[in-house]
């Protein structure tokens, strides 16, 4: 039954949102993993193995915020 479900999901061309603790299932089905932590959502394009390898990489958002502030300042001035 599990294999039939996996095959059906792999053939489906639409979007599927699922929650699972089964790493094998996530690896086989997922193309994007979203992490909800500390009230923030981080998206990882890849399967569970990709997420697991990259989840501890910290991305500094400050440079992005500073560029945004500069762009907004240039628009209004």
Query: Three-class SS of residue 33?
Result: strand
Q: Which of 59, 26, 14 is nearest to 40 (CA)?
A: 59
So what's the pLDDT on residue 1? 84
Taking a C-beta distance cutoff of 8 angstroms, is the pair 16, 9 a contact?
A: yes
So what's the pLDDT on residue 44? 94
Using a cut of 0.75, tell me whether the model's pTM lies above it: no
- pLDDT by residue (tens digit) across 9-31? 999 999 999 999 999 999 999 99
Quickly tell me which residue has 């560029």 as its tokens: 67
Q: Enumerate residues 6+ apart whose C-beta is below 8 A from 28.
A: 6, 10, 47
So what's the pLDDT on residue 25? 95
- pLDDT by residue (tens digit) across 52-64? 999 988 766 566 5
Residues paired with 33 in a beta bridge: 44
């Amino acid at each position: 039954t599990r294999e039939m479900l996996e095959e059906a999901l792999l053939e489906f061309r639409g979007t599927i949102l699922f929650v699972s603790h089964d790493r094998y299932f996530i690896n086989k089905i997922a193309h994007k993993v979203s992490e909800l932590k500390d009230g923030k959502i981080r998206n990882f394009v890849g399967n569970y193995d990709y997420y697991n390898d990259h989840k501890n990489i910290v991305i500094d958002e400050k440079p992005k915020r500073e560029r945004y502030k500069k762009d907004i300042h240039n628009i209004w001035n």
